[in-house]
Amino acid sequence: MNAPETLTIDAEPRRRLVASRWSPGGWPMGLRLGAALALLLLGASLLLPLLLGVDPMVTDLGRRLAAPGQQGFILGSDQLGRDILARILAGLNWSLAVAAVSTALAALIGVVLGLLAADRPGLLRTVINQLVDMVLSFPGLVIAIVVIAVLGHGFWPLVLTLGVLSWPVFARVVYAEARSVLAEDYVLAARLLGTSRLRVLLGHVLPGLTPSLMVMLAFHFADMMIAESALSFLGVGAPLGTASLGNMLSESRQYLFVAPYMMLLPAAAIVLAVVAANLIGDGLAAAGRRGRTYAHDGSDKA
């Protein structure tokens, strides 16, 4: 009783926390499935073209509209006799890249502005929150058409359009969560110690947001995949002719009854990629919840 408290069984909660959240052994089933699917798609889009050695742009009008397995095409050919498998792989590559970069862009803008709005009450907060509302009310398609008209088709115009139109989602969540972290006692303690605002934001607030951010990144990635395909389908996304999943869908319209696989196969690729991203998002959210309860157990036991 009068001896100083002994240090009781510790280290344990931390080890378990780390194990359950960040090693595949402790992942929820959905997360494992999603991660496996994502790896498969990414690997296929990067490696298979090399194995296949077929140029997705080469046309062969003599062998057009071949069904899967016929005339030497594994997944058939399109209206210009281009290899559908090669085009799907190249299209996947394009779509994944567009989704990844535009998600990163949206997250960057959203996190910075969300943190600023949370940390600076007053004019800056009002301005940022108004900006969020304003951007959310933009008609996305119209903006996309304007941007393409001004900048022309291409990877960067598309990424810019998607990123600049979708960052408010991040800003809103980051703003709300950052405000609750900023109200924590350990942030007050840091300020009392003389820690600068930037250090507080980067050292205490941002790490606290990481679990939510990872979940949001996964879901946003799925949204961007769909948005890219939709814009390309409408002709304001990928440059015409480029092997992109949206372009392929668009071109397949006229041959829907002759060659339904021209539509079904790229659509399946989109669905698989979106499902993978959603599974990862759900899995991360579940792991985050579980991690929280573990951490809570630890504090109560103490």
Residues that bind another protein (CB under 8 A): 1-2, 4-5, 7-8, 10-14, 184-186, 188-196, 199, 203-204, 207-208, 295, 298-299, 302
List the beta bridge partners of residue 87. Answer: none
Q: Are 52 and 291 in contact (CB under 8 A)?
A: no
- Per-residue buried b or exposed e for 12-51, using 16+ beta carbons within 10 Å of the residue's own CB: ebeebbeebbeeeebbbebbebbbebbeebbebbeeebee
Q: Which is nearer to another protein, 239 or 298 (CB)?
A: 298
CB contact set of 292 (below 8 Å; sequence gap of 6+): none
Give the integer Cα–Cα distance in Å for 169 and 7.
44
Provide, rounded to whole angstroms, the least separation between the CB of residue 142 and another protein. Answer: 43
Give the integer Cα–Cα distance in Å for 204 and 31.
27
Provide, rounded to whole angstroms, the least separation between the CB of residue 4 and another protein. Answer: 5
Give the count of alpha carbons within 13 A of 201, CB side only.
Answer: 16
Provide, rounded to whole angstroms, the least separation between the CB of residue 285 and another protein. Answer: 18
Q: Which is nearer to another protein, 159 or 187 (CB)?
A: 187
Q: Which is nearer to another protein, 17 or 84 (CB)?
A: 17
Give the integer Cα–Cα distance in Å for 299 and 295.
7
Provide, rounded to whole angstroms, the least separation between the CB of residue 39 and another protein. Answer: 28
Provide, rounded to whole angstroms, the least separation between the CB of residue 127 and another protein. Answer: 22
Q: Which is nearer to another protein, 13 or 235 (CB)?
A: 13
Provide, rounded to whole angstroms, the least separation between the CB of residue 109 and another protein. Answer: 25
Provide, rounded to whole angstroms, the least separation between the CB of residue 111 and another protein. Answer: 17
Measured CA distances, 259 to 66, 67, 68, 255 (Å): 8, 7, 10, 5
Alpha helix stretches (DSSP H) within 120-205: 123-136, 140-151, 155-182, 185-193, 197-200
Pick from 210, 215, 206, 217: which is nearest to 106 by CA?
Answer: 217
Q: Which is nearer to another protein, 199 or 253 (CB)?
A: 199
As given in the structure block, the two tokens for residue 284 are: 């991360």
Q: Which is nearer to another protein, 50 or 193 (CB)?
A: 193
Give the integer Cα–Cα distance in Å for 131 and 168.
8
Provide, rounded to whole angstroms, the least separation between the CB of residue 123 and another protein. Answer: 17
Q: Which is nearer to another protein, 133 or 297 (CB)?
A: 297
Q: Which is nearer to another protein, 22 or 186 (CB)?
A: 186
Give the integer Cα–Cα distance in Å for 39 and 280.
11
Q: Is 107 exposed, middle or buried (0-12, 13-18, 19+ CB in 10 A)?
A: buried
